[in-house]
Amino acid sequence: MNEPETLQKSLGVHIDPEALRLALTHRSYAYENDGLATNERLEFLGDAVLQLVVTDYLFRTFGDLAEGDLAKLRPALVSTRALARIARTLDLGPHIRLGAGELRTKGADKDSILADTMEAIIGAVHSAEGFETARALVLRLVTPLLSDTEAMTAGKDWKTTIQELVAARDMGEIRYIIEDFGPDHRKSFRATVTIGGTEYAQGTGPSKKEAERDAARVTVEELTGGRGQADILTLVLDRYEPDAE
């Protein structure tokens, strides 16, 4: 396990070393070490703090969104997938105390373990340093996701996403123009996306389908990147999946 000081620096907050050590203790490690305390109680607390902070932030920030839309938006910020994404940016995995079995199965890179540990860390900060410090940590970690197209639309099909985005703006017909290149025994494909007769982006891949997906991804990033957060939120609300939490 890496030094806790390194993780504290990444988090940008001081946490009592003992509280942090407990937050990083997965049950698999505890069971193999004479029944040490696990991070599960802190995870329970951290989940509640996370939900409250994010809910309050969305309520205050997006005053024009109805309750139903706020409920759709929240899972994109507090889901297992979102928390695991944050954990990876912090390089959290090597810090987690895992048992031998979880280490063998690469538990330090499992979404569920990363997300649970993030919640435990939030719980530890709240317990040791107070709510305001925990709130500041949550907002610092979570709010950047609102401007990250890839994070907010994670798991979505890019071709469907571009169809909905283009339809909402009445931009015209989407076409994929396919070209192949490379030797016959190892062909690659290039897809060019045109919308309403205007060329937008290209993508490549080992098959026509993969090239089209790549081109659609680049196009979505082009369309949302230059027009701000509102379009990304539209994608989330339109593509809401109730089981995303």
Residues contacting residue 159 through CB under 8 Å, at least 6 positions apart: 212, 213, 216
User: Is residue 102 among the annotated active site residues?
Assistant: no
239 strand-pairing partners: none
Say whether 148 counts as a known binding-site residue. Answer: no
Distance CA 145, CA 88 (A): 13
Looking at 102, 119, 212, 214, which residue is catalytic?
A: 119
Looking at 16, 34, 40, 47, which residue is catalytic?
A: 47
Say whether 119 counts as a known binding-site residue. Answer: yes
User: Is residue 243 among the annotated active site residues?
Assistant: no
Q: Token pair for residue 136?
A: 């500041």
Say whether 210 counts as a known binding-site residue. Answer: no
Dump the DSSP string for 33-58: TTT---SHHHHHHHHHHHHHHHHHHH
What residues are annotated to the active site?
47, 119
Question: Which residues carry a binding-site annotation?
Answer: 43, 116, 119
Question: Which residues carry a binding-site annotation for Mg(2+)?
Answer: 43, 116, 119
